[in-house]
Structure 1
Amino acid sequence: MLISLSDILPPLLQGTMVTGKLFIMSSLLAIVVSFVAGLGRLSNYTIVRALISFYVNVFRGTSLLIQLFWLFFALPILGVELSPMVAGVLAMGLNYGAYGSEVVRSSILAIPKGQMEAAIALNMTRTQRMTRVILPQAQVMMLPAFGNLLIELLKGTSLVSLITLADLTFKGMVLRTFAINKTPEILGMMLVIYFIMAYIITLGVRWLERRVSVGRV
């Protein structure tokens, strides 16, 4: 039976490493998906806009937990077996990428039309207009929303404990079964660890905001 904090902390830190790994990979996937889907919804091609809209509506309109269960429990029946980590990354990345796509799309649309017209007048290509004029301005508006989204993603990682991935939440729940009398300490330490991770994300986003805002009014 666990009797001290020194017995509790190592397993929680092991789970924190798994949570951190899951968060990093899911965040990278979510950011890539956000930009691909966000730009896709502004495409000149109707079929592209329709497909992206379908993806966004499905992943925003259904439960993340069910999406996670579907990838981990349903796909093997169809002949595709994913590890808990891969299933977690895909579910988290695709789900939060759908939300992030709206951040990208709305931020781009918020840029005054005069900016695009000026870029066209300078004979810039569509890619040059987007990468040199629109996105540099839109990213300033995107960062706060992406910061909130990343914190939500971090908290959402706790769901992977339900598909046997030994993350922070999973480790904490296992510890409770061996030391029910230490439940307040275990859950309290989990809260502190999640808070520290979220605060680090907040500081990182604020630093990026200062960097991209340099020279802007």
Structure 2
Amino acid sequence: MPQSIDFLPIILAGVTVTIKLTICGGLLATFVAFAIGFARLSNTAWLHIPARLFMEFFRGSSGFVQLFWAYFVLPIFGISLTPFEAGVLILGLGGGAYMSEIVRGAMLALPLEQFEACIALNLGRWQRLRYVLLPQALPLMIPPFSNSAVELLKATSLVSVVSVSDITFRAQTVRTQTGDAAIPFITILIIYFVLAAILSSLMRLAERRLKPTSKASN
């Protein structure tokens, strides 16, 4: 056990990688969520059908297998990704597929009168989104987005299978070198909990900041 404690700085050094994966994957997931969510709301078949297939594929298949495809199979087709890039890609696409339903649901939850008012005021599509619809929909998205963000944080542990040096990979390395599983895995359990608590707090702060905007819009 003392030997495992000596290795703790090695595990802690992986926190930066885990945070980077969460931020990069989260940014990509947010972009994908809005793109797929709005595409699914479209009445145009060539938009909403591929968006539905995309969403069903990434929600219905294993993230582990997706990661192996991104890292080991895509190079066969001339697309080579680093382990970190493959991890961000799969985290972003998979997380975005789930979050796209949040976007779609929030938009559908808006009162029909809001859409009718936009038409009555002769607002363009982007004006409707920017000034009327999104300010009301965003506060509805934040709570489920918070859950998705925490899930994405926890999913970063998946990238350890392609040797990304995050805290999970480093904990496995310490376990292999010392033969002790308790200390390294208790350590990363605590780290994930702390990071998730911080992330949830940031999302609650964003929710509070958006609430006055939604009230003003109404």
Count of aligned pairs:
215
The Cα of 1:14 is off from its aligned counterpart by 1.5
User: In percent, how many aligned pairs have the same letter?
Assistant: 45
Deviations 1:119-164 (A, max 9, x none): 1111111111111111111111100100000100011110100011
Aligned partner of 1:108 in structure 2 is 107
Alpha-carbon distance between aligned partners in 1 of 2:78 and 2:116, rounded to the nearest angstrom: 51
> Aligned partner of 1:188: which letter?
I
SS in 2 for 1:166: coil
What pairs with 1:45-194 in structure 2 (closer than 5 Å)?
45-181=44-180, 183-194=181-192
Aligned partner of 1:211 in structure 2 is 209
Alpha-carbon distance between aligned partners in 2 of 1:191 and 1:151, rounded to the nearest angstrom: 14
TM-score (normalizing by structure 2): 0.94
Alpha-carbon distance between aligned partners in 2 of 1:190 and 1:61, rounded to the nearest angstrom: 28
The Cα of 1:26 is off from its aligned counterpart by 0.3
Aligned partner of 1:20 in structure 2 is 19
TM-score (normalizing by structure 1): 0.95
Is the counterpart of residue 30 in structure 1 residue 24 in structure 2?
Answer: no
Alpha-carbon distance between aligned partners in 1 of 2:92 and 2:98, rounded to the nearest angstrom: 10
Q: CA RMSD, aligned part only?
A: 1.5
> Aligned partner of 2:186: which letter?
G
Note if contact 1:38-1:101 (Cα within 8 Å) is conserved in structure 2: yes
Deviations 1:64-102 (A, max 9, x none): 111101111111223321100110000010011011111
> Aligned partner of 2:176: which letter?
T
Alpha-carbon distance between aligned partners in 1 of 2:14 and 2:184, rounded to the nearest angstrom: 13
The Cα of 1:8 is off from its aligned counterpart by 2.3
> Aligned partner of 2:170: which letter?
K
The Cα of 1:10 is off from its aligned counterpart by 1.3
The Cα of 1:2 is off from its aligned counterpart by 6.2
The Cα of 1:4 is off from its aligned counterpart by 5.7
